[in-house]
Amino acid sequence: MQRLGIRRKTLIALLGVAVPALIAFSALIILTTAHILQQNAGRQVSTLASRSAQGLAELVDHSQTTLRTMAGSPELDAFRTAALGGNQLQLKTVLARMEQSFLGWQKLDPALQAIRLIDPVGHVLVKVKEGKVNQAAGPPQQPYQMPMVHFVGGRDFFQAALQLPQNSILISNLERGKIDEEEAFCPAMVRFAMPLLAGNKRVGVLVINVWGDQAGRLINRVIAEQEGSAFLVERNPADKKRNGIYLFHRDTACEFGDQTGSQRTVLNDYPPEITTAWMNSDHGITRDPRTRDMLAHAFYSPYGQQDRGWVVVVNAKRDFFLGPLATIKRLTGLWAVVVVILATAVSLFFARSLTRPLQGVVDGVRRMGQQPQERIRIAVGDEVGFLAAEINRMADAMQEQAEEKLRVEEQIRTTEKLASIGEMAAGLAHELNTPLGNIKALALLARKGVAQGGCDRESLQGDLDDIADQASKCSSIIGGLLSFARRSEGVPASHDPLTLLQDAFALVRLRAEKLQVALQCTETGPLPRLYLDGDQLRQVFVNILLNAIDATPGGSVTVSVQAEADRMLFRFCDTGCGIQAEHLDRIFDPFFTTKEVGQGTGLGLSVSYGMLQGMGGQIEVASQPGTGTTFTVILPVNTAAENSL
């Protein structure tokens, strides 16, 4: 039994709407979440970079404040006075007190790596380094006639600091310091220098070295290692060797590439579109096209210059700031599966609730097709139930119409049969008149002989035999006519096709003799029996033969019978006038006739056409005006039905 495809179509339709909508909604959630996470991450890393730059500014400001405080201390004031007066004993005492003061400053501020007092020529008069006093030695040096620790007069940093205005501070590069008399570098530091003036006279320079590891610790605390990294680079396009070098990085091997000889810079490690932003803007956010990591930077210049300073870079890993997105994707996917399952269940329920009643309607219609008296069983009161009720009402109406049609067709067949009987009645009268006259003459002779007493037994027996023979002829003629005229119930049975054809020949023989038409029948090979209503097929043959005889006065009608595979062909060929081309499409229409009024009903071929369709057969016609017409009756050979008898 063929099932409806509505369930599948409904399921596909609902899922076709639900799944794309769910995918679009899930994608919207994921994209929106990713956008929000990226925005939040951007704000966070930008804030971290800005705060780190602010922290560096605070470190520098603290160091500058320390230097200014030291420059304004009583020990430095006493030095200015002694240097201006030229009192050697007083100057020596002041320098000794200054050494102790510098040691105290170092204990108070561990960030101070070294403190130096340098005379205007470049002699280091006092130096405290890493909690120890470096003693001056050697002969007294001009201008103060004091021994020195070492000489720095040839260094650019000292010369630049000496020329600064009062209270101005010179800040060096952040770099690794050089150990005196050695090739090794000490950890990174920054030097802060301030000129010392007594009136209008420059009496020296105060220098402090500040450890750079404070900045390094500040950078390393910006972001956890599992979240990303932070590093400090130098912006200094005027100095190609230092531009883009790493000042601090978790990978210490890449720091100060200009001093270590690695020459490693951010310009080599990152794409130009990223480093260009770092080297030209104060702050911003970029993305690494290779890893999709988020990079925020903030610029700070302790030198007060836009093209020289430090850039804090915070590198936030994509997997970290988009980490919640993986959870959201997982949850969204889980909910999507749940929704798809629910949508499938709802679709199946909806399809089942729809298709079961419809399937019942379809099955009911199929039963009605097999058994017209069957009706659809109405189990629901919804639209499907209403549809079933309407189909039942339509089936009742169609059955009534079909029954009425059968009655009308039966009346038409009966009418045509009666018309055929009427046409044959005149010939039957002549046919019956001869044997009846013979019977009458023989009976009169026999009675006369009996009355005269001259009739012997043998003569009487011969007359009676002749009377019986003539009566049998009359009975045969009347029997054939009655057989043709009786009403048939249309019960199929097994029939010999030639016998049915010969019966039809017998019924139209008198009409053929009257019009001088020769009737012939030929068959090709053995013929199977036909399983059908013999009376109806006999009437079809009679209708076709009568038309052929009327169209062929003085000619001939030949009927050939041929079996082909699973069908049998009866060809009725006449030598009559033929059918006009414009009439060929109408010859099977009811009441269409080309005969004169009173000579035909126009129902013969129409009734024959309908009866053949009821048998599963068909009728074809071929005609040429003036050369004759051929009607071909094609009937199926139902061997299965025949064998079941």
Q: Tell me: the pLDDT tens digits for 247-263?
A: 999 888 899 988 888 88
Mean pLDDT of 75-79: 93
Mean pLDDT of 482-511: 77
Reported in sequence order, the residue ranges of 80-211 that DSSP labels E, i.e. its strands, are 112-118, 124-129, 132-134, 137-141, 146-148, 170-171, 175-178, 185-198, 201-211
Residue 55, classed as helix, strand or coil, is helix
Give the containing element (helix H, strand E) for 286: strand 283-287
pTM for the complete prediction?
A: 0.55
The answer to whether the bond into 143 is cis (omega within 30° of 0) is: yes
Q: What is the pLDDT of residue 643?
A: 44
Residues 506 and 512: their CA atoms lie apart, in Å, by: 10
Is 50 exceeded by the pLDDT of residue 639? Answer: no
Structure token pair of residue 9:
């179509």
Portion of the chain with pLDDT greater than 70, in percent: 79
* Other Cβ atoms within 10 Å of 60 Cβ, number: 22
Angle at 399 between CA 394 and CA 400, to 5 degrees: 100
Is 90 exceeded by the pLDDT of residue 308? Answer: yes
Is 50 exceeded by the pLDDT of residue 560? Answer: yes
Backbone dihedral angles phi then psi of residue 5, each to the nearest 5 degrees: -95, 10
Q: Domains of the chain (ranges plus CATH)?
A: 72-215 (3.30.450.20), 375-487 (1.10.287.130), 492-645 (3.30.565.10)
Mean pLDDT of 456-478: 68
Give Cβ neighbours of residue 456 (< 8 Å, ≥ 6 apart): none
Cβ contacts of 495-498, under 8 Å, gap ≥ 24? 495/529, 495/530, 495/531, 495/532, 495/534, 495/537, 496/527, 496/529, 496/530, 497/527, 497/529, 497/530, 497/561, 497/568, 497/570, 498/523, 498/527, 498/561
Spatial contact of 421 and 487, defined as CB atoms under 8 Å apart: no
